[in-house]
Amino acid sequence: MQGKLNPSLKKKATTGQYILAVIMLIFVAICTLPFINVIAISLSSKSAILRGAVSLWPVEFSTKAYEAIVRDKSMWHSLFYTIELTAIYTGLSMILTILIAFPLTMKRLKGRKFFTMFIVFTMYFSGGTIPIYLNIKQLGLLDSMWALVLPGLISTFNVIIMKNFFSSLPYELSEAAFIDGANDFQILLRVYLPLSYSSLATLSLFYAVSRWNSFSDALYYITSRNLQPLQLKLYNLIKGAQAIEVTVIEGNANEMASSLSESIESATIIFATVPILLVYPFVQRYFVKGVTMGAVKG
């Protein structure tokens, strides 16, 4: 278009485009180099890591760290446990989110304003870490899988996104179904849900990724080793390594100890990242859509 206006602009624009491309590549490099570094560390030998010889390429290539992880039964247990946890959490979350978003979409519902206020208020104010912790303790959920499922089951933000989507469906649809004798359950199951597949997929991914990445609730509520999700397991590993590093700096341990676990640590980071990377290409566009959807008021 610029070319049509002024032919001389076109050449300038392409030079500009190249400059832009270079700047963007720098940003992209900043975003990706840390990953490459960690991959390189995970595939390098201990002595090379210790010397600080590893930057973007494995030095003295070794797959020992991965072998150690693959042989570690607790790592696989933690992986499958986290998958199970995420699946249960996502399923229940979606059911509750739909069950609250649908009635709140119906304008004729008495008390609709009140219920909406009732849930939106929780976005602004909460009991806070300790009262929530004591509540879970009192309910007898501490150190059980349900402590990681129940307390975070509904995200009000996601409810609002779901509600906005339901509201965008033409009201006449439910009216027509009602005249044909459908009740509200049937309208939800046969009219609304089949039209909402993309939103349902988006929200499921929101819930699943947030559960997968959650760490602090596991830190607060879980003590048993076999109930630790992957993030907590990874944290314990990292903290163990860091504790050694701090003692090195304080002069209480030799540096040899600090690099002992570095490649294993890196390999574990990669191990925990791969599941996210596998789904990432599919979830990314839904997430982008979700952000812009959430910004629109309903």
Taking CB under 8 A as the criterion, which residues in 152-171 touch another protein? 153-154, 160
Residues 8 to 37: which contact another protein by CB under 8 A?
Answer: 13, 16-17, 20-21, 23-25, 27-28, 30-32, 34-35, 37
Q: What are 152's two structure tokens?
A: 């975070």
Among positions 94, 100, 177, 208, the unique one binding another protein when judged by CB under 8 A: 100
131 touches another protein (CB under 8 A): yes
Q: Give the range of 67-75, 165-173, 193-201, 278-286 binding another protein by CB under 8 A.
A: 278-286
69 touches another protein (CB under 8 A): no
Nearest to 163 by CA among 139, 196, 138: 196
- Which CA distances in Å does 284 have to 160, 195, 201, 276? 20, 21, 12, 11
Residues near 115 by beta carbon (within 8 Å), at least 6 away in sequence: 100, 103, 104, 109
d(CA 199, CA 189): 15
Residues 194 to 223: which contact another protein by CB under 8 A?
Answer: 209, 212-216, 220
Among positions 62, 64, 72, 151, the unique one binding another protein when judged by CB under 8 A: 151
With respect to another protein, which residue has the nearer C-beta, 69 or 96?
96
With respect to another protein, which residue has the nearer C-beta, 60 or 184?
184
Q: What are 287's two structure tokens?
A: 């997430």
49 touches another protein (CB under 8 A): yes
246 touches another protein (CB under 8 A): yes
With respect to another protein, which residue has the nearer C-beta, 199 or 221?
221
Alpha carbons within 13 angstroms on the beta-carbon side of residue 186 total 9
d(CA 296, CA 8): 42
Among positions 15, 110, 180, 278, the unique one binding another protein when judged by CB under 8 A: 110
Find out whether 166 and 192 touch, Cβ atoms under 8 Å.
Answer: yes
